[in-house]
C-alpha cells in the first residue's frame, strides 16, 4: 500500500520465478519491486484468509453458466443463502467486528479479487454508494443485487436501494 512505511527484505527465489516476474513487471510497466509488493499485499490482505476460510476458485464463465442454468426463484434463493452467511462469517473472521467500514472493505475485496466485475465506491453524508459493472448478464445482476442486499441486511441490519441493468448494479446504503 503506498504511503506506508517500507522495509528491506531479502530472500532467494527460483530462477524461473525471477525470469517470469521480470517479464511480467516489464509488460505491466512497473518495477519488479512494485510487482512483488503487490503480490505480497494480495497474499497478506486476501489469499491467506481465503485459504483459511476454505474458498474455491471458479472462472467467471463457469459462474455465469451456473447462474444461467438456474430459474429466477432458485437464483434469488442461492444468492440470499450465500449473502446471509458467508460474508458475515468472513468479516468476523478477518476483522472481528461487524461494522460499516469492514463491510465496505469486504465489498471492495469481493470485487477486486473474485472477478465478479469492476466497482466504484463513494461516501457522502453517511451514505455509501457502490456502482458495479460486470459481464455476467441479467441473472448476474439479479444474483449480485440479492447477494449484496442480503449481506448488508445480515451484517449491518440495514436495507439498501438498488438499481439494476443487464450489466450493472448501483447499491446505496447508510453507514
- Residue 2 scores a pLDDT above 60: no
Q: What angle do CA 114, 62, 165 make, to 5 degrees?
A: 70
Better pLDDT: 3 or 5: 5
Q: Kindly compute the dihedral angle of the four CA atoms of residues 56, 89, 39, 128, in this order, to the nearest 10 degrees.
A: 120
**DSSP per-residue letters across 114-127:** H-S-EEEEEEETTE
Kindly report, residue by residue over 89-124, the tens digit of the pLDDT. 999 999 999 999 999 999 999 898 888 899 999 999
The candidate with the shortest Cα–Cα distance to 79, out of 130, 154, 135, 132, is 154
- Residue 3 scores a pLDDT above 80: no
- 120 burial via Cβ count (<10 Å: 0-12, 13-18, 19+): exposed
* Predicted TM-score (pTM) of this structure: 0.83
**Max CA distance (Å), the chain:** 54
For residues 156 and 92, give the distance between their C-alpha atoms in angstroms, rounded to a whole number. 12
User: Residue 4 — pLDDT band, cuts 50, 70, 90?
Assistant: confident
Kindly report, residue by residue over 123-146, the tens digit of the pLDDT. 999 999 999 999 999 999 999 999
User: Residue 29 — pLDDT band, cuts 50, 70, 90?
Assistant: very high
Amino acid at each position: 500500500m503506498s504511503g506506508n512505511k517500507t522495509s528491506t527484505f531479502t530472500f532467494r527465489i527460483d530462477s524461473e520465478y525471477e525470469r517470469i516476474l521480470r517479464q511480467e513487471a516489464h509488460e505491466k510497466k512497473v518495477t519488479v519491486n512494485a510487482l512483488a509488493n503487490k503480490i505480497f499485499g494480495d497474499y497478506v490482505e486476501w489469499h491467506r484468509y481465503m485459504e483459511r476460510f476454505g474458498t474455491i476458485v471458479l472462472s467467471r464463465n463457469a459462474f455465469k453458466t451456473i447462474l444461467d442454468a438456474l430459474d429466477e426463484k432458485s437464483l434469488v434463493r442461492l444468492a440470499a443463502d450465500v449473502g446471509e452467511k458467508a460474508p458475515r462469517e468472513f468479516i468476523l473472521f478477518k476483522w472481528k467486528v461487524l461494522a460499516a467500514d469492514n463491510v465496505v472493505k469486504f465489498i471492495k475485496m469481493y470485487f477486486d479479487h473474485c472477478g465478479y466485475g469492476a466497482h466504484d465506491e463513494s461516501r457522502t453524508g453517511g451514505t455509501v454508494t457502490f456502482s458495479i459493472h460486470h459481464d455476467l448478464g441479467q441473472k448476474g445482476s439479479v444474483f449480485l443485487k440479492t447477494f449484496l442486499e442480503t449481506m448488508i441486511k445480515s451484517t449491518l441490519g440495514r436495507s439498501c436501494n438498488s438499481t439494476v441493468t443487464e450489466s450493472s448494479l448501483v447499491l446505496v446504503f447508510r453507514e
